[in-house]
């Protein structure tokens, strides 16, 4: 599948700075909306995504209205990951000049900071309760947004297979409230030492 992005409706491809809040907005949208996640998964995998004009639309559940989310929550999360884990600095760094031990030490700090942000601002539970590696059966009507079937997928459910990843579901989000005039686009202020 060609994964290049088509131009936006006005013919201009979004810049990197515009794509960052879009990506985080999409993350929260996919976490909050199972229908949207199922359509995204189908689109990503190159499958036809039913639309009201398609022949399969009659059998598909009614699609929800897509809403445009403010990028503020995504930018706030990015700011938290930068503050606690220096994530932007780490990902933006050219690591080719560093030894593996140096990268590992830096990755440990990034990992600890990211874990702190997740613990403080999100409640996460596994999608499936079984242990990874367990044999599971997916009955007809399973939630395709919560379980991705991989491998040699043929026929109709029930599907029997091995659980490769338990998945994650967010049950609570605890992002701090932002002041009305707060510019969420500044995810890390510049620092000037006097």
Beta strand spans in 89-162 (E):
122-126, 135-138, 159-162
∠ CA(25), CA(188), CA(190), 5° rounding?
150
State whether residue 19 is helix, strand or coil: helix
Per-residue pLDDT tens digits for 57-82: 444 556 678 888 889 999 999 999 99
| 0.85 surpassed by pTM | no
Per-residue pLDDT tens digits for 162-180: 999 999 999 999 999 989 8
What is the structure's pLDDT at 34?
74
b/e for 63-72, b at 16 or more Cβ within 10 A? Answer: eeeeeebebb
Mean pLDDT, each 10-residue run in order, the chain (194 residues): 47 68 70 75 71 45 75 94 96 94 95 97 96 96 94 92 96 92 93 95
* Residue 32 · residue 64 · CB < 8 Å: no
For residue 44, give both structure tokens.
């990503």
């Amino acid at each position: 599948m060609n994964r290049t992005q088509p131009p936006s409706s006005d013919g201009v491809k979004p810049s990197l700075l515009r794509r960052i809040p879009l990506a985080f907005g999409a993350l929260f949208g996919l976490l909050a909306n199972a229908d949207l996640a199922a359509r995204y998964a189908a689109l990503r995998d190159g499958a036809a995504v039913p639309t009201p004009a398609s022949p399969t639309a009659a059998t598909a559940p009614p699609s929800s209205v897509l809403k445009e989310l403010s990028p503020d929550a995504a930018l706030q999360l990015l700011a938290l990951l930068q503050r606690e884990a220096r994530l932007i600095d780490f990902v933006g760094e050219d690591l080719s000049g560093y030894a593996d031990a140096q990268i590992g030490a830096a990755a440990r700090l990034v990992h600890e900071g990211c874990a702190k942000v997740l613990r403080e601002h999100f409640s996460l539970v596994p999608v499936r309760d079984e242990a990874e590696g367990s044999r599971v059966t997916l009955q007809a009507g399973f939630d395709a947004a919560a379980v991705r079937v991989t491998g040699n997928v043929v026929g109709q459910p029930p599907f029997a297979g091995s659980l490769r990843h338990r998945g994650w579901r967010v049950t609570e989000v605890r992002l701090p409230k932002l002041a009305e005039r707060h510019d969420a686009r500044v995810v890390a202020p510049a620092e000037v030492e006097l």
